[in-house]
A = this chain, B = another copy of it.
Amino acid sequence: MIPADARSRVSQFMQQFQDQICAGLEQLDGGGKFREDSWERPEGGGGRSRVMTEGKVLERGGVNFSEVFGRELPPSIVSQRPEAKGYEFYATGTSMVLHPRNPYVPTVHLNYRYFEAGPVWWFGGGLDLTPYYGFKEDAQHLHQQLKDACDRHNPHYYAVFKPWCDEYFFLKHRQEMRGVGGVFFDYQDGRGKLYRGGLEQEAFRVSEAIGEIPERSWEELFAFVQDCAGTFLPSYVPIVERRQGMAWGDRERQWQLYRRGRYVEFNLVYDRGTIFGLQTNGRTESILMSLPPLVRWEYDYHPEPNTPEAELVEFFIKPQTWA
């Protein structure tokens, strides 16, 4: 059973979360301000997009809240949740992507979302970090924050949601992870099974059952999502404070622009949120706000061996135990 005011409680939280993130990021940036655009979706619902451009720390940052109603979920989701077929749906969530200027400061993405469609409801989301240069202490700090949040709610969560993140933010055509990961989960409806990859039929690289766990209520899952979302500022702010002062030049900039290409490839080819938004006639500028301001592609480029750039590819963006 879900509470009668489930939608409004989640939607309220998602808006407050957007406010909290934006306030924290303006303070961190110390210069840039978010510009807000409210928008309505012709089929029902709307959102608030906030974008910071040319800040001191952030070359571009976008934080988007949306709440949409629709006739039926797109086929890509119905295939994962057949019980939702034919029902009207409700979806709300907040998502964020930050593209810092300094190549030593990592890009970060988060998204937390809630769906209802007929008899089914679920939470999804997560946070992942994409550095251009790898620092173990940054990856460890972020993962420890997320693990602590997971552990406060369920001893199995981190063990499932961390590899799920590694698997989800994976560019199959490059055979590369997008970054150093974090946590990711989807289709969390409280049922007493927890699979890597969520549902059994999902074709992830690793898709083994973790096993039976006690059922979780809507309230428990909502509390977990709030707690997990709350780790963003304490996870990311210290990393920025450590890296923002590091000097960089053309070499680091070119590498950052090149690696940003992988971000674009992931978002346009694989990202579930992007595809959902484009398929459901979302506001294109808000959906594609996650794309970097400037990007470079170079044919068949490989960094020199024994450089920090090669270390990123060979060590940091492989599955590692960070916490």
A residues with a Cβ closer than 8 A to B are: 37, 51, 53, 60, 62, 172-174, 257, 261, 264-265, 268-269, 278, 284-285, 287-289, 291-300
CA separation between A219 and B299, bound complex, in Å?
37
Interface pair B269/A285, CB less than 8 Å apart: no
Q: Chain B residues near A174: list those with CB within 8 A.
A: 284
Alpha-carbon distance A21/B289, docked complex (angstroms): 38
A294:B291 contact, CB within 8 angstroms: no
B268 and A173 within 8 A (CB)? no
Q: Give the residue among A51, A278, A295, A299 with the most B Cβ atoms within 10 A.
A: A299
Chain B residue nearest to A264 in the complex (CB): B264
> Given that A265-B268, A268-B269, A299-B53 are known contacts, is A287 also in contact with B37, CB under 8 Å in the complex?
no
Contact at A297–B293, with CB atoms within 8 Å?
yes
- Chain B contacts of A295 at CB under 8 A? 264, 294-297
Chain B residues whose CB sits within 8 angstroms of the CB of A62 once the complex forms: 299
Cβ contacts under 8 Å, A297 to chain B? 288, 291-293, 295
Cβ-defined partner of A294 (8 Å) among B265, B278, B296: B296
Which residues of B sit under 8 angstroms from A264, Cβ to Cβ? 264, 268, 295
CB pair B300 A285 closer than 8 Å: yes
Can you offer 14 A-B residue contacts whose CB atoms are under 8 A?
Answer: A37-B300, A51-B299, A173-B278, A173-B288, A174-B284, A261-B291, A264-B295, A265-B288, A269-B278, A285-B300, A288-B297, A294-B294, A294-B295, A295-B297
- In whole angstroms, how far apart are the Cα atoms of A268 and B291 in the complex? 13
Set of chain B residues within 8 Å of A289, measured between Cβ atoms: 299
* A288: chain B residues within 8 A (beta carbon): 173, 265, 297
Closest to A300 in B: B285
Inter-chain CA distance A99–B131, complex, in Å, is 29
Query: In whole angstroms, how far apart are the Cα atoms of A292 and B62 in the complex?
Result: 24
Q: Which of A172, A289, A291 has the most CB of B within 10 A?
A: A291
Those 4 A-B pairs whose CB atoms lie nearest each other, nearest first: A268-B268, A291-B297, A285-B300, A173-B278
**Complex CA distance for A293 and B296, rounded to whole angstroms:** 5
Q: How far is the CA of A69 from the CA of B291 in the complex (A)?
A: 35
**Assembly CA distance A298 to B288 (angstroms):** 10
Contact indicator A298/B293 (Cβ below 8 Å): yes
Instruction: Find out whether the CB atom of B292 lies under 8 angstroms from the CB atom of A60.
Output: no
Answer whether A299 and B278 are a contact pair too, CB < 8 Å, given A261-B291, A264-B264.
no
A296 CB contacts on chain B under 8 angstroms: 293-295
- Chain B residues within 8 Å of A257, by CB: 294
Residue of B nearest to A277 (CB): B173
A294 to chain B, nearest CB (A): 5
Query: Known contacts A297-B292, A299-B53, A299-B289; is A173 also within 8 Å of B269 by CB?
Result: no
Q: How far is the CB of A176 from chain B (nearest CB, A)?
A: 10
Measured between C-beta atoms, what is the minimum distance from A257 to chain B in Å?
8
